[in-house]
Amino acid sequence: MVTTATDIAKQAGVSQATVSRVLSGKGAQARIAKTTQAKIQALAKELHYRPSFAGQALVRGKTRSIGFMCGDICNPHFNELADLAMREVEKRGFHLVLAVIKWDATQNNLEAFDSLLARGVDGVIYFGADIRKGTAQHTQITGGKFPFVSIEQAFNGLPSIVSDNQIGLDEAVAHFKENGHRRLAYFGFAEPDKELPLARAAKRHGLSLSRHHVTIPLGAWAQIPQRVRAAAHQFADLPERPTAVFVSSDHLAHVFASGLWDKGLRIPEDVSVIGYDGTAAGGFMVPPLSSVDFDNERVIRLAVDTVCAQIEGRAGAAKKMVVPTRLLVRKSVVPVP
């Protein structure tokens, strides 16, 4: 049975208001005798009293919680982002409320955002693509000055943190070229924010570039491993197979490597590979995966700082923050045989 402030008040022989003042740290301010304060605190400990979250939120007008929307946490990238976000918000005395989205449809993403607001979060860190001008959610954020920051998508008038992929992809292509590779492939989902800078880098360094897209029907995200593996099989069977491959995420690179293995090919002996995200999990692949580093720690620290500043009334004008990517060199690229 849950112990309440009323239970403690009955046993201590004082009013509920007295108990509330003591347990909220205002006993001395209310001039409550030290012996009474000690008695109440001892009873709270003995009866395993826990403050009511809803009650505290009602008193403060805030829940001291921050919503975090991200993709499937089976993906190491989002898993690591969520873990970092939890640590950062807890340092500041907040709790993290997680909403995992599949990006199957715009409506799903907007509903996930609405669900966080329904839980009374004080602000939201948003990793999605649908809070666009004209939506009710965009109006709610801008009109009500609701604390918000977007990661990887810049929305009109809202704070955002985006990556400069050109820097990291230039370094990735240069690394391939230094190892004698001349035929480069893009493998993964169709993502212009990665493909376009990769194409520019390939042209600059004189490498040919082919694209190998993995398509997933709406509502079929559970099929990602099978479809990525099948696409890897097709890549392995190419008569003029590129020797260097940029995979659009470390998560897909794991499955891509497995598909190559099915066909008797090895990384990096047969195909050199660079992923994207710079996840810690990529470092445990065999061989450890070189990757364009998203700089998770810096992105999350900026995101939490931005939302907390808005919650505490310290925010300035909405702005777009750009975080450069860098190549994290491990062992998945070797000279062309």
pLDDT of 158 over the 50 cut: yes
What's the mean per-residue pLDDT of the chain?
88
What is the predicted pLDDT for the residue at 58? 42
Mean pLDDT check: name the lowest of 205-219, 250-264, 297-311: 205-219
Helix, strand, or coil here: 242? coil
Does the pLDDT of residue 99 top 50, yes or no?
Answer: yes
Q: Kindly indicate the confidence band of residue 219, based on its pLDDT and cuts at 50, 70 and 90.
A: low
Range scoring the smallest mean pLDDT among 39-53, 155-169, 255-269: 39-53
DSSP state letters, 151-215: ES---TTS-EEEEEHHHHHHHHHHHHHHTT--EEEEEES--HHHHHHHHHHHHHHT-EEEEEE--
- The Cα–Cα gap between 247 and 292 comes to 10
As a whole-number percent, the residues of the chain with pLDDT over 90 amount to 58
Question: How does DSSP classify residue 334?
Answer: -
Enumerate the β-bridge partners of residue 160. 150, 320
Mean pLDDT to the nearest integer, 256-268: 96
Q: Flag whether pLDDT at 273 surpasses 90.
A: yes
Collapsing DSSP to helix, strand or coil, 256 comes out as helix
Measure the CA–CA gap between 63 and 97, rounded to whole angstroms.
11
* 156 pLDDT above the threshold of 80: no
Identify which has the larger pLDDT, 3 or 286: 286
CA-CA distances (angstroms) from residue 122 to 94, 96, 99, 144, 319?
9, 10, 14, 12, 20
pLDDT confidence bin for 54, thresholds 50/70/90: very low
* Most trustworthy range by pLDDT among 11-25, 269-283, 314-328: 269-283
Specify the higher pLDDT residue, 58 or 194: 194
How far CA 8 is from CA of 3, 30, 32, 39, 285, in Å, comes to 8, 18, 16, 10, 55
Distance CA 262, CA 232 (A): 9
Q: Is the CATH number of domain 165-294 3.40.50.150?
A: no
Domain 63-163+296-323, CATH number (from 3.40.50.720, 3.40.50.2300, 3.40.630.40, 1.20.1440.130): 3.40.50.2300
d(CA 319, CA 273): 35
Which tens digit of pLDDT belongs to each residue from 6-38? 888 888 888 888 887 887 777 777 778 888 888
- pLDDT at position 71 over 50: yes
Q: Do domains 63-163+296-323 and 165-294 have the same CATH topology?
A: yes
The domains of the chain are located at 5-51, 63-163+296-323, 165-294
Least confident range from 145-159, 243-257, 268-282: namely 145-159
Secondary structure letter of residue 64 according to DSSP? -
Q: What is the pLDDT of residues 187-201, one digit of tens each?
A: 999 999 999 999 999
CATH hierarchy code of domain 5-51: 1.10.260
Q: What is the distance of C-alpha 157 from the center of its chain?
A: 21
Torsion sign, CA atoms 308, 314, 320, 322: negative
